[in-house]
Amino acid sequence: MGRVTSLDDLPLRDDLRGLTPYGAPQAPLPVALNVNENTHPVPDEVADDILDGIARALREVNRYPDREFTALRQAFATYLGHGLTAERIWAGNGSNEVLQHILQAFAGPGRTVFGFGPTYSMYPLLAQGTGARWTAGTREDDYSITADEAARQVRATDPDVVLLCSPNNPTGTPLGFDVVEAVYEAARGVVIVDEAYHEFAPHDAASALTLLDGRPRLAVSRTMSKAFAFAGARVGYLAADPAFIDALRLVRLPYHLSALTQAAAVAALRNSTTMLRMVDEIVVQRDRITATLVALGYAPHESWSNFVLFGGVDDPKAVWQALYERGVLIRDVGIPGHLRVTAGTEAETTAFLDALASISDPSPAASVGSAS
């Protein structure tokens, strides 16, 4: 019997050949600030409540979970506010699965998914995985988007799905409501505002949830991975018109959210006030990173997220490697002259800033702090 030795030996879909799977470098370093995790642990009192909920769910784990995850949807509706009800909420195993459900329902072969690049690197992979075509629009030099230009690009592309990351990953750039409104009016298909990092925006920054009424093709997605320090639990969710939610039921797998996941998420949401105290601490460290990067001669971009993208790096690969050798892992997102760092705890932030200040840019006649 012959032995399969590579993907070339398998009848893989032609449009998947040559692709590489998504993934950031993983390494056992003391300070890992590369994947925008909330590096604060779940508070002990909240962890105890979550464990109690999981323990109760375990007593019935021989049965399938609530397929409609009713209690969790109600908990999300209560947390989000804005008059939302459970019938307008959807959830999945991380916001990536929620976005995948959207593309399975509204994209697919022969259809187009559109976003403004650079943006979240999973968008094109999700489009590819559902057989859709990904098309990237453009942003201004500071990564912002104007309403008129956004609408023009959407009309020119005529996509079936538009993905608007707000604030944007990997740049941290906020997105004005005028852009969302203009894109919605210009689009024939559905429009998704991905608010994965919304809790890190200024307290007076409104959510696109305020735009949902009267816009049945609009959805706003969120995640518990960032603000709730729940990356390992894998819980994402969205709010939309009830008919939009019905469309997602057509493509989800049966019982896709386990009883243990539902119990853990409900308990975390029940303790949202305690959980969100971490957000303010992270914002302090994010702003500290920005100020120190400026002092070191770098060019950080405005960020409403839990990370900072900074330019002025003459040799990103060399600087990334030098930090790695000092036990600090950050992210090279492929934007020339830039690196991205997650805002961690005070100690982790200090370790990153000290390491960055201690190294010299390996490029000729330049220091790490010099702007390119």
Q: State residue 2's pLDDT score.
A: 59
Q: The tokens of 184 are what?
A: 């919605």
Edge-first strand order for the sheet with 299-300 is: 299-300, 307-311, 339-342
Nearest-angstrom CA–CA distance, 123 and 163: 8
Residue with tokens 């959210």: 257
For the chain, list residues with pLDDT below 70.
1-4, 25, 360-372
What is the overall mean pLDDT for the chain? 94
90 CB-near residues (< 8 Å, 6+ apart): 73, 98, 101, 237, 238, 239, 240, 245, 248
The CATH code for residues 24-41+274-358 is 3.90.1150.10
Nearest-angstrom CA–CA distance, 26 and 34: 9
Q: Are strands 328-329 and 31-32 parallel, antiparallel or unpaired?
A: parallel
> What are the DSSP calls for 190-209, one per residue?
EEEEE-TTGGGS-TTPPPGG
Closest CA to 227 of 79, 87, 74: 79
Amino acid at residue number 316:
P
Q: Confirm if 312 and 301 have CB atoms less than 8 A apart.
A: no
Q: State residue 365's pLDDT score.
A: 32
Q: Confirm if 308 and 285 have CB atoms less than 8 A apart.
A: no
157 CB-near residues (< 8 Å, 6+ apart): 112, 114, 135, 137
Over residues 135-167, the pLDDT tens digits come to 999 999 999 999 999 999 999 999 999 999 999
Cβ neighbours, 10 Å, residue 255: 13
pTM summary value: 0.93
Cα-to-chain-centroid distance, residue 340: 14
Nearest-angstrom CA–CA distance, 174 and 194: 11
Closest CA to 278 of 43, 30, 31, 49: 43
Q: The tokens of 291 are what?
A: 């100020």
Nearest-angstrom CA–CA distance, 203 and 363: 41
Over residues 81-137, the pLDDT tens digits come to 999 999 999 999 999 999 999 999 999 999 999 999 999 999 999 999 999 999 999
Domain 44-270 in this protein, CATH class:
alpha beta
Domain ranges of the chain: 24-41+274-358, 44-270
